[in-house]
A and B are shown apart, each in its own frame.
Chain A
Amino acid sequence: MKREVVLSRRQMLAGVALSGAALGLAGCDRLSNTPASLSILDAAEGLTRRVQRALLAPRDALAPEYAAADISTTFKPNGSTDPDDPDYVKARDEHFANWKLDIGGLIDKPMQLSLADLRNLPARTQITRHDCVEGWSCIGKWKGAPLGPILSTAGLKPSARYIAFYCADTLEQTLDGTGQYYETIDLVDAFHPQTILAYDMNDEPLSVPHGAPLRLRVERQLGYKMAKYVMRIEAIESYSKMGRGSGGFWEDRGYEWYAGI
């Protein structure tokens, strides 16, 4: 008699465990599509950002830099690799001779910089690791103009809180134009010494797959923050009116705005 009781209890436990697991799996998918539960999961992003930023004092802690021998023989280009947007194709065919970087928004002195202007600015060269959100890493040598001094010259207005990067490439065809690549970073990253507008990669002018003529390097974040094909830089107070309002192309598609991990 006793044995029967134990067995049925056992079966009950197993049944509860199994149906719990099945419900759990279906539940995870359902929760993944519910804004309320997603916003609870999002709490982790804010926590990660605050803790990492608190731990990252001094704010200028540098990402590891590597030796020339460590440079990847194959550096995987991701996202857009050959934009077919007409303005970009025209500029590319002119070898970016007439291309100019627009700098505007909440700054005192809006300006336009040609590639020659950018190359005449003090440069920084760094061999760093590029970590893609997908999981892989490549090491490359980047040369470019540090962003901080450019912003200081342009003069940020007190209301400026973020720097936005408008890119030439449409990564996804959409009806409302939200498929255009863009990114935003905060001023901590914008003024970080390793944050540069790179025009050379591995001692060659930036190639089209890697974002010619100019790409952003933000070495303490994941690859998707490092906008390629940068056309315009704006100092802004909020990114809520850009794209779909989450601060970047991939952010609008569910990825974290803070991509430090």
Chain B
Amino acid sequence: MHRDDEASKIGMWLFIFTEILLFGGLFVVYSVYRYIHPEAFKLAGEELDWVIGTVNTVILLISSMTIAMSISAIQKKDKKLALGLLYATFIMALIFLVNKYFEWNLKFDHGFYPSSEVLQELGHGTILFFGLYFFMTGLHAFHIVVGMVFIGFIIYYVHKDRITFDNHQLLENGGLYWHLVDLIWIFLFPLFYLIH
């Protein structure tokens, strides 16, 4: 069967570019609204828990390393290590989502959710900040879920020896997707959790 790894990789990168521009548009919206409402964004940003944000940053960075290492492992024909690293990546993605769940839950308990009564009483800038916070971190969390499905398929294919040392472009593409999720978070984290 004919296989073109290079074309597969270019296809993945083209998809990643559409993702960058999707989030890019949201970053433009964020920067304009922050420019118009600097004080409200600062006060609202201090409502967010920077500790949980930092913990999630560390988790994503480590998971990015484990999936990158799994490519080296498969190239060295070390299937066992590659699988271990992929399972580790999957579990860290799950921990990220659990943290996100508790973080959002706490916000909901304090009455902060889109169009809540608490938010309605606060200013326009605060509403915009929390709207962007829920939409952007929510869209990012959705990408984590998609990444987990992607990694799930990769784990299955490695088990079945359909991803091997000489046929691992799918694993590389999964890695690229996962690093994109990490890349977006690198910018989301200081813009929402570290406003000071």
Partners in one complex: no
Listed in ascending order, the chain B residues whose CB lies under 8 Å from chain A are none
